[in-house]
Structure 1
Amino acid sequence: MREVRTRRLSVPLHTPFVTALRRTTTIETVLVEVVDSDGVSGWGEAPQVWQVTGDSLAGSQACLDGPIADAVVGRDADPRATASLVQRCVVGNRSAKMAADVALHDLAARRAGVPLAAHLASYAGVAGPAATQVRTDVTLSAGSADELARAAIARVADGFGTLKLKVGTDAATDLDRVRAVREVVGPHVALRLDANQGWDAFEAVRVITALEDAGADVEVVEQPVPARDVLGLAHVTAHVETPVMADESLFVLEDLVEIIRLDAADLVNVKLAKCGGLTPALELLRVAGLHGFGTFVGSMMESHVGLGAAASLVAAVGTTSLPDLDAAWWATASPYAGGPHYVGDRLVLSAAPGLGIDGLQPGGEPTEGERA
């Protein structure tokens, strides 16, 4: 590996993204480029989501420019040899680790002349060709019942068949919000709920049971309780019929072991920024599947680099549930030349080697903090 380059990016959204944890109108991320001795580049990104990972742009950029660059520059660029160095060289900083790990895999795929999904399938020992596109759900930002209903109608018109409702801001009115959406979209659109830790265990059971009694036909409820309340998560899972998914409760393998031990969820949501990249994500999906847990891949508010990597992971190894990979859809435009793009509810992967990204579009230059 010859060098590591970092840039900060701010990508505007066409619609504010609102959850029980935060509201944002931009994707804030650190773009990393790793360059090998032949001048071939691989791309990754480190998204900033203070309320979930705690990682900042400044911290991720300093980590990538410092200990991660020190660990990989001058070494073999193959992720089989280098990915473990990224994970060991610093404590925490998983968004930065994600960026470096994705970039290493992107570089390996480019060197092999294959799309990232095909590289990951080979890396994981999966037989058969990788998919070239991945369907996704789309999120409805938290809001009033009327706002959610209007957004639901618009998203179905955009071609999405699975809607994820952000709830958890007010347990007393969450039932009305979900019922309002179900009423306007009818029975053939799948509904998911994401409480983003907004309820306690007893509120969660009350709300979910009421939804079941109302016939709302909710496919899954994601992270109903605070992240560290794994016992509470297990309580909810044991007392409702609707499948429960662990998201913020799962970052790394130790978290998954605790979820398995307590039988605390039905499905687990693996995100690259939580676990540190594609390499640990592959292991989490493998272990969850071995223990009979449903598997799901999601994302933070990331640009097309992170979303392309996550979609390539799904295309390579598959999951038991439709993924949540709409984050870059919220962007007004892709800042990159090449890479994946959306067609209705599908994220279509580039057929070019790696992620198919060839740098920033004209006008997509970093907002601040460029370093090499």
Structure 2
Amino acid sequence: MTGLKFSTHLVSAPLHTPFVTALRTATHADSLLVSITDGEYTGWGEAPQVWKVTGESLAGAQACVEGPIATALTGLGADDLTEALRRVQGAAQANFGAKAAVDVALHDLAAHRAQKTLQGFLGSTVTTVKTDVTLSAGDSAALVQAATDRLADGFDVLKVKVGTGDAAADFDRVRRIREAVGPGPRIRLDANQGWHRRDAVTVIRALEDAGCAIELVEQPVAAADLDGMAWITDRVSTPILADESVYGVRDLVNVIRRGAADLVNVKLAKCGGLATARTLLELAREHGLGSVVGSMMESHVGVGAAAALVAAYPTTAVNDLDAAWWLEQPPVSGGIRYEGSTIHLPSTPGLGVTGLIA
């Protein structure tokens, strides 16, 4: 792009608490940060490394950004946002994290040039959004303690990781959490593809019969098993949320056509950035599906962009944007800040990010 300079930065930010799911255990948030400058302003974006979900590596994301994406944008000026975003999506197959990083950086740069916050650039005056908080997978005692701790931290929507291979134990853990926290806090479950369809129905129905008031169940079975997810959706009252099953528009169309889920979880690193994410949220709304905006294990850059999206395109349920809360220290200065379950969006232009922390 004429007059614009790309830079990539590999970061590994330690978490204050290990993050455990049915798919992995994380102690650091590993990401590729991308900055794009026009000489006066700088836009930031992020591609997280999540081997077990997207299959993308930081090395691959960096090569994609510095290779085909940068080549595709050659010759465009700083004001050619629409064309730049189109070219980013067409520069390579898949590589959604790399595309998301550049897409967000271009949006951030455009917001800076317009002297608007990113949510303002997207058409919103909202300054705060709400998030849930995840309880890492563990035994009953550890989960009950984590739930109590998170309530004390100011969160009131608890996301419990299940699907670790023992359906009966999953039921017992969730039941014990509900008994410990009482009826007030909302509890949602995320199996991360870890259940078989019959186990999913058995556990969800048992929780319904026990009065555990589960708000929703996320991705109970393998991403490709839309028939299985539709089978579950038809047999339980608790809403089913599609996550790993939906990357782009074609995936969401398939979910809608097959009645496979009640809601969709839109993530920038899955779909390739803000441009596609907006389309997914609008498509879900038009077809009566609920929606949540989520995050991978990202920093204040990626989560800040997702929060700005939520501010401009409200979802039907509390969003899943606690990822940056887990960091001991952000890798960048500026940006969003957490106050319990409330994410405060910056009042300064773009994402409010002013640079890397050395």
TM-score by length of 2: 0.98
Unaligned regions of 5+ residues in structure 2, if any? none
1 CA distance for matches of 2:70 and 2:176? 50
Which residue of structure 1 aligns with residue 157 of structure 2?
A: 162
Give the aligned residue type for 2:139: S
Alignment pair present for 1:280 and 2:280: no
Q: Deviations over 1:312-365 (max 9, x none)?
A: 00001111111000000000011211111111111111100000101112x3xx
Which residue of structure 2 aligns with residue 35 of structure 1?
A: 37
Displacement of 1:79 in angstroms is 2.4
Tell whether the 8 Å contact from 1:35 to 1:41 is kept in structure 2 after alignment.
Answer: yes
> Among 90, 93, 109, which residue is 1:91 paired with?
93
> Among 256, 266, 269, which residue is 1:260 paired with?
256
Give the secondary structure class of the aligned counterpart of 1:245: strand
Which residue of structure 2 aligns with residue 101 of structure 1?
A: 103
Displacement of 1:297 in angstroms is 0.3
2 CA distance for matches of 1:73 and 1:359? 25
Give the aligned residue type for 1:47: P
2 CA distance for matches of 1:26 and 1:336? 15
1 CA distance for matches of 2:189 and 2:254? 23
Which residue of structure 2 aligns with residue 200 of structure 1?
A: 196
2 CA distance for matches of 1:70 and 1:39? 22
Correspondence list, 1:122-137, <5 A: 129-137=124-132
Displacement of 1:130 in angstroms is 2.7
2 CA distance for matches of 1:212 and 1:79? 48
Q: Deviations over 1:265-297 (max 9, x none)?
A: 000000000000000000000111100000110
Runs of 4+ aligned residues of structure 1 deviating over 4 Å after TM superposition are: none
Which residue of structure 1 aligns with residue 69 of structure 2?
A: 68
Which residue of structure 2 aligns with residue 366 of structure 1?
A: none
2 CA distance for matches of 1:58 and 1:172? 40
Correspondence list, 1:166-177, <5 A: 166-169=161-164, 170-177=166-173
Tell whether the 8 Å contact from 1:3 to 1:69 is kept in structure 2 after alignment.
Answer: no
Alignment pair present for 1:115 and 2:105: no
RMSD after superposition: 0.9
Which residue of structure 2 aligns with residue 54 of structure 1?
A: 55
> Among 178, 185, 208, which residue is 2:174 paired with?
178
Tell whether the 8 Å contact from 1:139 to 1:326 is kept in structure 2 after alignment.
Answer: yes
Give the secondary structure class of the aligned counterpart of 1:59: helix
Alignment pair present for 1:139 and 2:134: yes
Displacement of 1:76 in angstroms is 2.7
Tell whether the 8 Å contact from 1:294 to 1:320 is kept in structure 2 after alignment.
Answer: yes
Give the aligned residue type for 1:69: A
Give the secondary structure class of the aligned counterpart of 1:75: coil
Displacement of 1:71 in angstroms is 1.5
Give the secondary structure class of the aligned counterpart of 1:13: strand
Q: Deviations over 1:67-106 (max 9, x none)?
A: 1111124313342121010000101100000000000100
Which residue of structure 2 aligns with residue 368 of structure 1?
A: none
Unaligned regions of 5+ residues in structure 1, if any? 122-128, 364-372
Identity %: 57
1 CA distance for matches of 2:95 and 2:40? 27
2 CA distance for matches of 1:338 and 1:7? 17
